[in-house]
Structure 1
Amino acid sequence: MSDQTDPAEEALFEAPRASKPSRPRSRRPAPTRSVARVVVDTPLPHLDHPFDYRVPESLDQDAVPGCRVRVRFNGQLLDGFLLERADTSDFPGRLAYLHQVVSPEPVLTPEIAALARIVADHYAGTLSDVLRLAIPPRHARVEKETPHTPPPPPPLPEPDPDPGPWADYPTGPAFLTALRDQRAPRAVWTALPGPQWRDAIAAAAHTAAVAGRGVLIVVPTGRDVASLDAALTARLGPGHHVALTAELGPAERYRRWLSVLRGHVRVVVGTRAAMFAPVRDLGLVVLWDDGDDVHSDPHAPYPHARTVLSLRAHYSRSAVLIGSHTRTAESALLVESGWAHPIVADRALVRRRAPLVRAAGDDAELARDEAARTARLPSLALRVARQAARHGPVLFQVPRRGYLNALACARCRTPARCAACRGPLALRSAHAIPYCRWCGHIAGDWRCPSCEFPRLRATVVGARRTAEELGRAFPALPVRTSGRDEVLTEVPATPALVVATPGAEPTVPGGYAAAVLLDGWALLGRADLRAAEEALRRWCNAAALVRPAAEGGQVVVLADAALPAVQALIRWSPAAFAERELAERRELGFPPAVTMASVTGDPERVREFLAQLDLPEAAELLGPVPVGTDGTERALLRIRRAAARELSAALKAASAARSARREEKSVHVRVDPLDVL
């Protein structure tokens, strides 16, 4: 496994430059008190640097590096973190005193402080914004009740010399050997269909933990955390790991986070926010399903777990495992550059493990069923579902939740729009009155503006309506639904129909007998750079829950068989599809072949920001152009990856200049945005 950084990735992994003071300062000693350097909790970019304060004698013992403090700042009392203690200050004037040590607990470790600074600079954000994501809110009662030195957990069981699920991959045992030897291998893992990925991650974590290293695992959902929690307990035994999710509640989550900070446990599994968990002696970071957009934080500066964990592993010299049933273009770039090595199974084994995949839109099926191209449930899907339902549950994946999410005139097919705001009309149930999805206006007296016809037809069907249709088509079978409102974790292996939205598919002991992937056009037809990649990811995640073809497992995808994403699913070749996707994006100048940033806001403010922006010579400006319906505009900035740090620095400098002038209306700056179309 490679431990070297490719030159093309230097912009991502290069250490940031030290922040410059706002004005020249002469170094002079503080006459009687030591100095505390504090990062103040303020989102203003021009204040994104530490400030020096004197430490009074009464706080000298509690004011330890990493603790929470309160300071007077611009006439207000603000929270902050004490970064370090020093004997001298560069500030030429008189230093103010620390107002309060909120807690002497050193919650900000040097590693997380350095990582937060790197992440803030990479995303053109502020350190305080990143620390707000990294450090959970304090609970005083939890701090007092949690012991600093609990009884040690029982010893870890020795790992089985058999590589277990990693034996299915030619380079899998070598990856475990590198972990056992405390080396830092980096791998992009394309997992085989089936549930074995959980045990494979648990085995890798067990190997690293026995070698005396910490482990951090980040997965998309709470359901994935629960399943990995069970797998880790089976491998490590109780007391050796914790699970961190938002569902725990603030107090319990802070309790578990403290146990990690204090070194009680060294293996952590959690969702996106766990990427900053203060794991001691980190030796392995794992990211599962990196293509899921929930890994991108919706709060400034919008960090992505893949980038944060890659940066963290690089600077802590930890092993990296990025795994999924598919492969993203970003992961393909890591493999292509040599920064990571692929872990894939042999094609013969992939064919044995994968279900039989058929497209309802292929030529043979269209010749048999001429209506298959337009029918929502063509005869192939119905035949496969009826046959498979005799042997177990059948999964129907529906791209959209709800009932009827879009309507049109039943005569001329004109889209039905709200008379008040022009938003799309929808239905909540079979007996409901049409309503506007934007403003909620009831449209009981709707008539088509083109032909005056009063009746409506569905154009976008949701999961609940699909469940109704299937209940009529299969009256003898129970129909279960799993979606945003109610997510099923597991269903029994008895004949049934399961209707689920992507990501909410429940598991079945032994796997589904078949799966039908509905409305492929809704996924592939989106105006999104990642539309095809995302469609393949959702399809493969659902198909991975189906039994192998040798056991009768079948998958029917309702999409044109000639499309590359559909062919990649039929052949189960996601790695080849990712390589092709990366090559096409490089040719067109799209991420991840290049680095892009977006500047969004009021048209006048966006133009002012761009006029003040000192762009690097290699940067290219695209736009600005209108986005949405509220008059907002967006400009895109494109630059080669090797110069990405220069673009981030220029964006941050422009944001700092605007905040220093107290501009009332700001613009939103985002580096590596998910949406660029």
Structure 2
Amino acid sequence: MSSEDKQPSEPAGDGPEQLALIRESVRKAKVPKAKPRTWRGAALAKELPVARVMVNKGVLHLDQFFDYAVPEELDADARPGVRVRVRFGAGAHRVRDGRREGGGLVDGFLIERRAESDYPGALAALAYVVSPEPVLSPEILGLARAVADRYAGSLADVLQLAVPPRNGRAEAEPSPEPLPPPPPPAPGTWERYGRGPAFIESLAAGGAPRAVWTALPGPHWPDELARAVAATLASGRGAVVVVPDGRRAARVDAALTALLGAGHHALLTAESGPQKRYRQWLAVRRGSVRAVVGTRAAMFAPVRDPGLVVVWDDGDASHSDDNAPFPHVREVLELRAAHDRCAFLLGSTSCTVEAAQLVQSGWAAPLVADRPQVRDLAPLVRTVGDHDLARDEAARAARLPSIAWQAARDGLAHGPVLVQVPRRGYAPRLACERCRTPARCRQCAGPLEAPDEHDLRCAWCGRGEPAWHCAACGSVRLRAQIVGARRTAEELGRAFPAVPVRTSGRDHILDSVPSRPALVVSTPGAEPVADGGYAAALLLDGWAMLGRPDLRAGEEALRRWIAAGALVRPQTEGGVVVVVAEPTLRPVQALVRWDPVGHALRELAERAELGFPPVSRMAEVTGRASTVTAFLAGAELPEEAEVLGPVALPVPGPGRARRPGEPPVGEQWERALVRVPPGKGAALAAALKSAQASRLARGGPDQVRLRIDPPDIG
């Protein structure tokens, strides 16, 4: 050690102040003055110079945060929650001679600012801040993380569902000033339910009740939802209401506006357009609006201090997202209710098995009316029974037996009549009239269809079949397996020539119809609301819905029937529903009794015996046969896991759009189901997510698709 490095000894007799000054001078002499931190010649932020970023890459092996340096010029705008652009890819974090070696620009969210980074090398810098508007709150980030873990997905994929695309014009507009909380509403028609008034009072008092609500038939459910939201706003908290489609969102929107006036809530639907929708979303994020009504994406609405989350008609397929990781609104709102400690309301005119399980487990309480109320407000439901067979031997096989014709004729004397058919179009699928063998194309074996009366062609390859004959029996006559809505409307128009016939389906959905006599032919879910209710409803082709190879066939058929029947006038006003299906089947009997809860409880008991969802948790693994087998062999599944399959999936043919989760055209994929008992769902998701991340990190051309809790396991 040199003499310069030795510390001077303390002089004798010096006082404490002098000693302190000497030590301070030595400390300053030994510690060199720090140089400003720079990036490529530019200074970095003086405080918290590290930004932790969620990069918008949805692959599982990159499901983590990445650290970036914050240049001084971005210090003010680079706040947690803003959108940023960063260099990502090969060489993004490798620096040589002050220059970045590689990496392309990608989007991301700035999660937090930090003083230090765990990364040992040089950090790449934020390229720029897209907008200083913080769009990702810590609460929504936590919810998105929980959703990603539950569904074995990536946080980036969930954030793409949770945060809408930016619209610069909407962002530049100021949001309105928040309105004061409204007064608590009166219970209104909630008094028809035993615990209804107490539920509304609990919300207004700041409570967090959880309930499964079986709504009575009729037009009152939008107003009842509006009163639940108003009670929550009265407590100073926010509310989120998610419905299956824009038509029902518009009904709840109108009910809330009538009850509270404008400005208390936002409507988030695709029909609003990107600019208006983003403007409404920003008003919620900024705290100007405390309540949201919307479709599926609204489940992530950034409502401040949420006090109530609502899902209406949870059995509707629209509540299940078709984008990875395929979350379901009901499950997401359950997670949100638990994380935010807020109230939860699941409402429907029917009852799913999952809803029944929530009540049976004690997680939620039932909100139901007593049986006399149900009988007074439900329509009279009639089936094709022995009495009709005695008069009409062909009634059970007929598509529209005499009892249905009579109900339509009587109903048209007093108002509109609803006719529900399972399919749209003219005649979607055809079969041999003699032996019922499906009619298939001679070139590609695809199903034949008739877009109009005189044109027979393949649904896969599009080739015409002018000289078709049955390969099984030689017959040249065809029949429709399921007659579509347009063909039904044409037949009814000939039968009732003086009555207007209107159709409502995917291509053209009617919102409402007047109370004048008319035949309204609709597919399930597209039924318009009739002023004053329908005089009658005909539920046709019940065998087609009940005969689907799906675990939920009976439950789904009953849900669609009850949704249509709920639009019919009460039986005290002459409302009649005729269901054309085997009358002894359980869903038909549940419709006759108007007892969806009892049907759901019996279904739940049977699934518990068989170990089917929702009693068990299940995951779906699809891909090429060898890939699925190798993937499951390498996954560290829970000991209790049971693998079912794999089994071959149908090979999709050409000429039609590829559905989510289907293999490419002409490829043979297989599917395996992995089942675990209750309480092991999180372990199953974690194991599959880890195996998928490892497989993606190694690379490989074959795709493996994961889906937790698939809606269709038939």
Considering the TM-score relative to the shorter chain, is it more than 0.5?
yes
**What secondary structure is seen at the aligned counterpart in 1 of 2:452?**
coil
Point out the more displaced range, 54-63 or 438-447.
438-447
Counterpart check, 1:364 vs 2:387: yes
> What is the CA distance between 1:32 and its match in structure 2?
7.6
Which residue of the partner structure matches residue 660 of structure 1? 697
Point out the more displaced range, 450-459 or 264-273.
450-459
**What secondary structure is seen at the aligned counterpart in 1 of 2:502?**
strand
Q: Quickly say closer, same or farther: Cα 1:291–1:32, change in 2 above 3 A.
A: closer
Point out the more displaced range, 242-251 or 515-524.
242-251
> What is the CA distance between 1:453 and its match in structure 2?
3.5
Match of 1:633 among 659, 670, 674: 670
Match of 1:70 among 77, 85, 96: 85
Counterpart check, 1:427 vs 2:450: yes
Match of 1:124 among 152, 157, 165: 152
Match of 2:52 among 37, 40, 54: 37
Q: Quickly say closer, same or farther: Cα 1:571–1:85, change in 2 above 3 A.
A: same
Counterpart check, 1:83 vs 2:111: yes
Match of 2:342 among 318, 329, 334: 318
Unaligned ranges ≥5, structure 1:
1-29
Match of 1:112 among 132, 140, 155: 140
> What is the CA distance between 1:157 and its match in structure 2?
4.6
Contact 1:33 1:54 in 2 (8 A): no
**What secondary structure is seen at the aligned counterpart in 2 of 1:399?**
coil
Counterpart check, 1:552 vs 2:574: yes
Which residue of the partner structure matches residue 395 of structure 1? 418
Superposition misfits of 4+ residues, deviation over 4 angstroms:
30-33
Q: Describe how 1:279-358 pairs up with structure 2 within 5 A.
A: 279-358=303-382
> What is the CA distance between 1:570 and its match in structure 2?
0.4
Contact 2:151 2:707 in 1 (8 A): yes
Match of 2:527 among 467, 488, 505: 505
Q: One-letter code of the match for 1:385?
A: A
TM-score (norm 1): 0.93
1:617-665 CA distance string (max 9 Å, x none): 1111111110112411011000012011100000000011011112222
Q: One-letter code of the match for 1:647?
A: L
Counterpart check, 1:266 vs 2:294: no
User: Aligned equivalents of 1:547 and 1:323: distance in 2?
Assistant: 21
Q: Quickly say closer, same or farther: Cα 1:33–1:571, change in 2 above 3 A.
A: closer
User: Aligned equivalents of 2:88 and 2:333: distance in 1?
Assistant: 33
> What is the CA distance between 1:290 and its match in structure 2?
0.3
> What is the CA distance between 1:439 and its match in structure 2?
2.0
> What is the CA distance between 1:152 and its match in structure 2?
4.3
Match of 2:436 among 413, 435, 445: 413
User: Aligned equivalents of 1:333 and 1:408: distance in 2?
Assistant: 40
Say how many residue pairs are matched.
643
**What secondary structure is seen at the aligned counterpart in 2 of 1:562?**
coil
Counterpart check, 1:211 vs 2:235: yes
Which residue of the partner structure matches residue 125 of structure 2? 97
Q: One-letter code of the match for 1:427?
A: A
User: Aligned equivalents of 1:481 and 1:440: distance in 2?
Assistant: 26
> What is the CA distance between 1:210 and its match in structure 2?
1.4
User: Aligned equivalents of 1:593 and 1:368: distance in 2?
Assistant: 45
**What secondary structure is seen at the aligned counterpart in 1 of 2:520?**
strand
User: Aligned equivalents of 1:397 and 1:486: distance in 2?
Assistant: 15
Counterpart check, 1:57 vs 2:85: no
Match of 2:513 among 491, 497, 504: 491
Q: Describe how 1:500-649 pairs up with structure 2 within 5 A.
A: 500-629=522-651, 630-649=667-686
User: Aligned equivalents of 1:510 and 1:223: distance in 2?
Assistant: 18
**What secondary structure is seen at the aligned counterpart in 2 of 1:93?**
coil
User: Aligned equivalents of 1:106 and 1:285: distance in 2?
Assistant: 23
Counterpart check, 1:168 vs 2:159: no
> What is the CA distance between 1:510 and its match in structure 2?
1.2
1:246-305 CA distance string (max 9 Å, x none): 122222211111111111111110000111110111111110000001100000000000
Match of 2:498 among 463, 476, 481: 476
User: Aligned equivalents of 2:581 and 2:437: distance in 1?
Assistant: 24
**What secondary structure is seen at the aligned counterpart in 1 of 2:555?**
helix
Point out the more displaced range, 90-99 or 335-344.
90-99
User: Aligned equivalents of 1:584 and 1:412: distance in 2?
Assistant: 35
> What is the CA distance between 1:440 and its match in structure 2?
1.6
**What secondary structure is seen at the aligned counterpart in 1 of 2:85?**
strand
Q: One-letter code of the match for 1:90?
A: D
Q: One-letter code of the match for 1:296?
A: S
User: Aligned equivalents of 2:404 and 2:178: distance in 1?
Assistant: 56
Which residue of the partner structure matches residue 48 of structure 1? 63
> What is the CA distance between 1:429 and its match in structure 2?
1.7
User: Aligned equivalents of 1:257 and 1:349: distance in 2?
Assistant: 39
Q: What is the Cα-based RMSD across aligned positions, in Å?
A: 1.5
User: Aligned equivalents of 2:436 and 2:178: distance in 1?
Assistant: 69
User: Aligned equivalents of 1:294 and 1:379: distance in 2?
Assistant: 35
Q: Quickly say closer, same or farther: Cα 1:508–1:643, change in 2 above 3 A.
A: same
Contact 1:33 1:56 in 2 (8 A): no
Rg bigger for which structure?
2
Q: One-letter code of the match for 1:268?
A: V
User: Aligned equivalents of 2:671 and 2:519: distance in 1?
Assistant: 44
User: Aligned equivalents of 1:31 and 1:318: distance in 2?
Assistant: 40
User: Aligned equivalents of 1:152 and 1:130: distance in 2?
Assistant: 29
Bigger RCO of structures 1 and 2 (CA < 8 A, at least 6 apart): 1
1:102-123 CA distance string (max 9 Å, x none): 1111100000000000000000
1:511-564 CA distance string (max 9 Å, x none): 100101000000000000100000000000000000000100000001111111
User: Aligned equivalents of 1:269 and 1:152: distance in 2?
Assistant: 17
Match of 1:158 among 154, 167, 183: 183
**What secondary structure is seen at the aligned counterpart in 1 of 2:512?**
coil
> What is the CA distance between 1:448 and its match in structure 2?
2.4
User: Aligned equivalents of 1:254 and 1:326: distance in 2?
Assistant: 33
Point out the more displaced range, 92-101 or 563-572.
92-101
> What is the CA distance between 1:323 and its match in structure 2?
0.2
> What is the CA distance between 1:457 and its match in structure 2?
2.4
**What secondary structure is seen at the aligned counterpart in 1 of 2:597?**
helix
User: Aligned equivalents of 1:640 and 1:458: distance in 2?
Assistant: 43
1:62-91 CA distance string (max 9 Å, x none): 110000011111112111101111112222
Contact 1:403 1:461 in 2 (8 A): yes
Q: One-letter code of the match for 2:708?
A: V
**What secondary structure is seen at the aligned counterpart in 2 of 1:641?**
coil
Point out the more displaced range, 484-493 or 93-102.
93-102
User: Aligned equivalents of 2:518 and 2:599: distance in 1?
Assistant: 33
Q: One-letter code of the match for 1:580?
A: R
Unaligned ranges ≥5, structure 2:
1-44, 90-102, 652-666
User: Aligned equivalents of 2:372 and 2:177: distance in 1?
Assistant: 49
User: Aligned equivalents of 1:558 and 1:668: distance in 2?
Assistant: 39
Contact 1:448 1:454 in 2 (8 A): yes
User: Aligned equivalents of 2:401 and 2:380: distance in 1?
Assistant: 18
Q: Quickly say closer, same or farther: Cα 1:455–1:370, change in 2 above 3 A.
A: closer
Q: One-letter code of the match for 2:548?
A: R
**What secondary structure is seen at the aligned counterpart in 2 of 1:42?**
coil
Q: One-letter code of the match for 1:166?
A: W
Contact 2:430 2:478 in 1 (8 A): yes
User: Aligned equivalents of 2:53 and 2:576: distance in 1?
Assistant: 60
